[in-house]
């Protein structure tokens, strides 16, 4: 798979296994947090993801979170991660994390991420 990642990337196998065990055959959103680079265009990525059938739930300057509903299985999770990584690579974005659930709720599960990524809900005061 092509990739232009500046940081080490990890699939959190224990979290994936836990999600499969807890939510097997249920349909939940799995999405990616895309971060632009210097040459990226926010609007172009937003419209590209919408055209690909993604729901956009968080847009900030140079960052977008997009998800699709996935029927949970180990294979489906790995396919979703691969698809999100491929989109990031093709569009010259970084894929900061892949998350299952609703990130706005602070209840999402990080399934894969850059090495040092910590979601906002895990940052202490």
CATH of the domain at 82: 3.30.70
**Domain assignment present for 43:** yes
- Determine the pLDDT at residue 109: 92
- Segment 99-112 shows an average pLDDT of 86
**Domain assignment present for 92:** yes
What total of structural domains would you count in the chain?
Answer: 1
**Domain assignment present for 20:** yes
**CA–CA separation, 117 and 74 (whole Å):** 23
Burial (CB count <10 Å: 0-12, 13-18, 19+), residue 8: exposed
Q: Determine the number of helices (DSSP H) and then strands (DSSP E) in the chain.
A: 3, 6
pLDDT at 22 over 60: yes
**Domain assignment present for 77:** yes
**Domain assignment present for 21:** yes
- Determine the pLDDT at residue 106: 75
- Segment 97-107 shows an average pLDDT of 85
- Determine the pLDDT at residue 50: 95
Instruction: Say which range, 2-6, 20-24, 65-69, has the weakest mean pLDDT.
Output: 2-6
- Segment 30-40 shows an average pLDDT of 84
**Domain assignment present for 14:** yes
**Domain assignment present for 53:** yes
Domain with 62, as residue range(s), is 9-114
List, for residues 45-88, the tens digit of each pLDDT value. 889 999 999 999 877 788 899 999 999 999 999 999 999 999 99
**Domain assignment present for 119:** no
């Amino acid at each position: 798979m092509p990739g232009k990642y500046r940081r080490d990337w990890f699939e959190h196998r224990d979290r994936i296994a836990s999600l499969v065990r807890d939510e097997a055959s249920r349909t939940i959103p799995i999405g990616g947090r895309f971060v632009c680079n210097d040459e990226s265009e926010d609007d172009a990525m937003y419209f590209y993801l919408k055209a690909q059938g993604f729901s956009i739930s968080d847009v900030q300057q140079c960052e977008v979170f997009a998800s699709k509903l996935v029927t949970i299985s180990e294979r489906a999770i790995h396919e979703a991660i691969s698809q999100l990584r491929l989109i990031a690579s093709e569009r010259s974005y970084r894929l900061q994390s892949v998350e299952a659930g609703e990130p706005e709720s602070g209840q999402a599960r990080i399934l894969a991420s850059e090495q040092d990524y910590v979601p906002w809900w895990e940052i202490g005061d």
